[in-house]
Amino acid sequence: MSSILSQLGTAVKNKLDLKLNKSGGTVTGDLTLNSPLKLAAYNSNSLPSAGTAMRIIYVSDLDCIAVDDGTNWRKIDLGTTL
């Protein structure tokens, strides 16, 4: 988990540390980010193995978000541009 927090940056890590129940690893309450959250990006042919439910990634070659349901990666289309 610490490597993920390091990737998010010091400011976000500090905010998470204030919300993190370190004994169980659960974030409680509201979390406000002052900058965009960047998801890990993968190509569809190099996705990590599914099996850890609730992970979210960006699939760059399909231009979509994917969610790990604990068994499979589920594609979420992004829709039209803003």
Where are the CATH 2.10.10 domain residues in the chain? 39-82
Q: What is the pLDDT of residue 8?
A: 46
Euclidean distance between CA atoms 24 and 65, whole angstroms: 27
Fold of 39-82: Seminal Fluid Protein  PDC-109 (Domain B) (2.10.10)
HEC-encoded secondary structure of the chain:
CHHHHHHHCHHHHHHHHHHEECCCCEECCCCCCCCCCCCCEECHHHCCCCCCCCCEEEECCCCEEEEECCCCEEEEECCCCC
Residue 59 confidence (pLDDT): 96
How would you write the pLDDT of the chain (82 residues) with one tens digit per residue? 456 445 547 777 777 777 665 666 666 778 788 888 899 999 999 999 999 999 999 999 999 999 999 999 999 988 888 8
Q: What's the rounded Cα separation, in Å, for the pair 67 and 54? A: 6
